[in-house]
Chain A
Amino acid sequence: GEDVEQSLFLSVREGDSSVINCTYTDSSSTYLYWYKQEPGAGLQLLTYIFSNMDMKQDQRLTVLLNKKDKHLSLRIADTQTGDSAIYFCAESTEVSGGGADGLTFGKGTHLIIQP
């Protein structure tokens, strides 16, 4: 079955880089996503990476994918107080390969910013 694992908490100092890690089990994953959820709000898409890529950069965000180890990471450079939120890793799989049509999410990583 599909499973996505994340650490529950990450604490960093303002201005440092944050690295949030995620592991998944389904080798037929096609896209991997990072969503951000602030208190009381819905999920905001941050970035995504196709499974045949190993890196994607978008301003302060860098996504690294190690497909062999089924490991995904999100690096946030120069972390700010506004980055405080829960970050969800999610995967989608090929429906033709038996994957579900919906995304499979991890439990989320709470990013805590220390002043």
Chain B
Amino acid sequence: GAGVSQTPSNKVTEKGKYVELRCDPISGHTALYWYRQSLGQGPEFLIYFQGTGAADDSGLPNDRFFAVRPEGSVSTLKIQRTERGDSAVYLCASSLYQGDTQYFGPGTRLTVL
């Protein structure tokens, strides 16, 4: 069975540009999570979806970051007016339900020049 997939695997952009990162969770998983991993750090929680709604967005660093999951499956993380400090690996995870084991995708490495 397919695991969590993320596209693109790498994204290079210029400061001030807009980017979208996509996550395809494991089929049937209702819960979806986004994390950000900076160099030398562990992943940090950004936002969690249960179905289509963002149940917890307490980890989003500011209002330039936004995420959607319109049909309760695929999710898109959107970053406006990117800054160099946004450079990191963005990880997506899914679980069968909230509180169950989370399975991670390979991540998208975002580089802001």
**Contacting residues of chain A (1-50) with chain B, CB-CB under 8 angstroms:** 4, 30-31, 33, 35, 41-45, 48
Tell me if A79 counts as interface (CB < 8 A to partner B).
no
Given contacts A42-B107, A43-B104, A45-B101, contact A102 B41 (CB under 8 A): no
- Among residues of B, the one whose C-beta sits closest to the C-beta of A35 is B104
- Among residues of A, the one whose C-beta sits closest to the C-beta of B59 is A102
Tell me if A92 counts as interface (CB < 8 A to partner B).
yes
B35 A102 Cβ-Cβ under 8 A: yes
Q: Which of A35, A42, A88, A101 contacts B98 (CB 8 A)?
A: A101
CA distance A30 to B98 in the complex (A): 13
Given contacts A101-B48, A102-B59, contact A107 B40 (CB under 8 A): yes
Tell me if B27 counts as interface (CB < 8 A to partner A).
no
Min CB distance B34 to A, Å, is: 9
- Among residues of B, the one whose C-beta sits closest to the C-beta of A41 is B106
Number of B residues contacting the other chain (C-beta, 8 Å)? 26
Tell me if A104 counts as interface (CB < 8 A to partner B).
yes
A101 B106 Cβ-Cβ under 8 A: no
B101 A102 Cβ-Cβ under 8 A: no
Tell me if B85 counts as interface (CB < 8 A to partner A).
no
Tell me if B14 counts as interface (CB < 8 A to partner A).
no
CA distance A90 to B42 in the complex (A): 9
Tell me if B51 counts as interface (CB < 8 A to partner A).
no
Tell me if B58 counts as interface (CB < 8 A to partner A).
yes
Q: Which residues of A contact B102 (CB under 8 A)?
A: 45, 103
- Among residues of B, the one whose C-beta sits closest to the C-beta of A44 is B104
Tell me if B55 counts as interface (CB < 8 A to partner A).
yes
Tell me if B43 counts as interface (CB < 8 A to partner A).
yes
CA distance A100 to B45 in the complex (A): 9
